[in-house]
Chain A
Amino acid sequence: MSKSYASPAASSAQVDARAPTVAPAVEATPSNELLVGLMAQAGAQETGQASMLDLASSQSGPAPDAGMFDIPEGKDQPTPLPSVRDKHQATVQWADPAAKMTPFVKGAADKAAVDPNDVAQGSLGNCYFIASMVAVARANPDAIKQLIKSRGDGTYDVTLYVRDSAYGAPKAVTQVVDPRMPLGPSGTPLYAKVGDQKNGTTEIWSSLLEKRLAMQKGSYDKISGGNIAKDGFAFAGATELLTGKRESYRATAGMKEDDVLLEIAAALEGKKPVTADTKDMAATPDLAKEAEAHNVYGNHAYAPSKVDMDGRTLDLTNPWGSDHVTGLSVKDFLRFYRGIRIGA
């Protein structure tokens, strides 16, 4: 049996100050045994991240023009799914909500179930949010776990910290989110990728948080690039959405090398999420080509992971989940990066 869902519209959010039970790292329900969402992992990366999955529902076909699609009954969220981008409408499928997916799986290379290596960007220009998930996962993995609570029926209460206005304080706003995520033609998640796999169960916390943000704005397109700041959506840095704590921003112009090293080192040591934005290099191709050699790309966000005070270098995680920056001299950091964002 299946239900038809209309093209997603803006979701109604509810303020929820409850503190329900944290979702288990891996949950197995009897219904999982019945599932048709086959996860055929074609090759896990060294991080243990699932790279090729078939999460598509056997009842889900390409979405017709009207944005209608069929999904199996049960375990679906009460509010509409967020719209995918227009150019993805013709080919998108939605993951089977009953596939073996769970928010948190501790992979072999993970220090905790929530690990920076769980995160990888997809076909959406939201590096600011993906890098922030990496940064918070690194600084305070428990903060991520607190955002996603199992409702015991295959859906989750997923919380983001959202402001009513630029002058208001961020409030915890919770919505029910099911595990369905948009899949591309090859059956892999179209946007944020899935994390680790264990016992045939796939980790989806970053997809859930990305979807929750898309629900907050009404569509995935509205969280892409500069669209996030439109429609009166106010926030002081993307890590604030995840922690409820305001970010501080420092432009690199005018910063000294020692300032960069000390501030980022202090943030990492103090378990504060830290991200860094690169410059727009479209008008400076020579600089862009030099930066490319270090895996640094223009108009992109990264999450610093290490500072070598003696070598005066930095390592930064690329939200792509690959092509990370290692051993970048602080001198080059100041040439390539325009700002540093430190959360709390």
Chain B
Amino acid sequence: MAWAAAQGPTPPSAPPIAQEAPVIESIEETTVGDLAGVRVAMANVFVDRYVRADGAPAEGLTCLLVFDGQKVRVGAGSAVSVAGRSWEVVSVTKAADALGEVVLRAR
């Protein structure tokens, strides 16, 4: 205790950093999802070329996102801005004889 007193007041411990769960949304092919209050439709899943968030070209399964009069083709690793909020495309998948699905994570 003497040592502690000699060193002056103990610095307060750092406050815990709030860890918010990442916002992840998925939208199925031909349906209309909700990205933070914005209606976003998804359609036409097929293999195509697209651009990743870092600007690198890529090729793989893509889908079309339709919102606010925009149509944006995206694939895994690309980013899209919806009503000012940026979303990363985590995956685009499609099983045989099933609707495709896109998973997005708020950035």
1/0 per residue, CB under 8 A from B, across A297-324: the answer is 1111000000000000000000011110
User: Cβ of A285 and Cβ of B43 under 8 Å apart?
Assistant: no
CB distance from B50 to the nearest CB of A (A): 12
* Size of the chain A interface, CB-CB below 8 angstroms: 35
Q: Answer whether residue A282 sits at the interface, using C-beta atoms and an 8 A cutoff.
A: yes
User: Cβ of B43 and Cβ of A298 under 8 Å apart?
Assistant: yes
What's the dominant secondary structure at chain B's contact region?
strand
B contact residues around A289 at 8 Å (CB): 44
User: Cβ of A281 and Cβ of B44 under 8 Å apart?
Assistant: yes
Q: Which of B4-12, B84-92, B94-102 contacts A (4 or more CB under 8 A)?
A: B94-102
Q: Which of A115-123, A148-156, A195-203, A230-238 contacts B (4 or more CB under 8 A)?
A: A115-123
A contact residues around B51 at 8 Å (CB): none
1/0 per residue, CB under 8 A from B, across A227-268: the answer is 000000000000000000000000000000000000000000
User: Cβ of A188 and Cβ of B30 under 8 Å apart?
Assistant: no
User: Cβ of A299 and Cβ of B31 under 8 Å apart?
Assistant: no
CB distance from A88 to the nearest CB of B (A): 10
User: Cβ of A322 and Cβ of B34 under 8 Å apart?
Assistant: no
* Size of the chain B interface, CB-CB below 8 angstroms: 26
User: Cβ of A297 and Cβ of B44 under 8 Å apart?
Assistant: yes
User: Cβ of A292 and Cβ of B34 under 8 Å apart?
Assistant: no
Q: Answer whether residue A20 sits at the interface, using C-beta atoms and an 8 A cutoff.
A: no
Q: Answer whether residue A125 sits at the interface, using C-beta atoms and an 8 A cutoff.
A: yes
Expressed in whole angstroms, the Cα–Cα distance for A121 and B41 within the complex equals: 10
Q: Contacts A184-B34, A297-B44: A87 and B26 contacting too (C-beta < 8 A)?
A: yes
Q: Answer whether residue A66 sits at the interface, using C-beta atoms and an 8 A cutoff.
A: no
A-B contact count (CB 8 A): 76
User: Cβ of B28 and Cβ of A123 under 8 Å apart?
Assistant: yes
User: Cβ of A123 and Cβ of B43 under 8 Å apart?
Assistant: no
Q: Which A residues, 40 to 87, have Cβ-Cβ distances below 8 Å to chain B?
A: 42, 51-52, 87
Q: Nearest CB to that of B37 among chain A residues?
A: A186
B contact residues around A285 at 8 Å (CB): 46-48
Expressed in whole angstroms, the Cα–Cα distance for A288 and B100 within the complex equals: 15
Q: Contacts A297-B64, A320-B32: A125 and B99 contacting too (C-beta < 8 A)?
A: yes
User: Cβ of A281 and Cβ of B37 under 8 Å apart?
Assistant: no
A contact residues around B46 at 8 Å (CB): 281-283, 285, 288
Q: Nearest CB to that of A191 among chain B residues?
A: B31
CB distance from A79 to the nearest CB of B (A): 26
User: Cβ of B66 and Cβ of A323 under 8 Å apart?
Assistant: yes
User: Cβ of A185 and Cβ of B29 under 8 Å apart?
Assistant: no
Expressed in whole angstroms, the Cα–Cα distance for A323 and B27 within the complex equals: 17
B contact residues around A320 at 8 Å (CB): 32, 39, 41, 66
Q: Answer whether residue B45 sits at the interface, using C-beta atoms and an 8 A cutoff.
A: yes
Expressed in whole angstroms, the Cα–Cα distance for A30 and B46 within the complex equals: 53
- Residues of B whose CB lies within 8 Å of any CB of A are 26-34, 36-37, 39, 41, 43-48, 64, 66, 71, 94, 97-99
10 shortest interchain CB distances as A-B pairs: A297-B43, A186-B37, A288-B44, A285-B46, A300-B30, A282-B46, A125-B99, A184-B34, A320-B32, A320-B41
- Residues of A whose CB lies within 8 Å of any CB of B are 42, 51-52, 87, 120-125, 127, 184-186, 188, 190, 224-226, 281-283, 285, 288-289, 291-292, 297-300, 320-323
With A224-B99, A297-B64, A323-B66 given, name 11 new contacts (CB 8 A): A121-B31, A121-B32, A122-B31, A123-B34, A125-B29, A190-B34, A226-B97, A282-B46, A288-B44, A320-B41, A321-B32
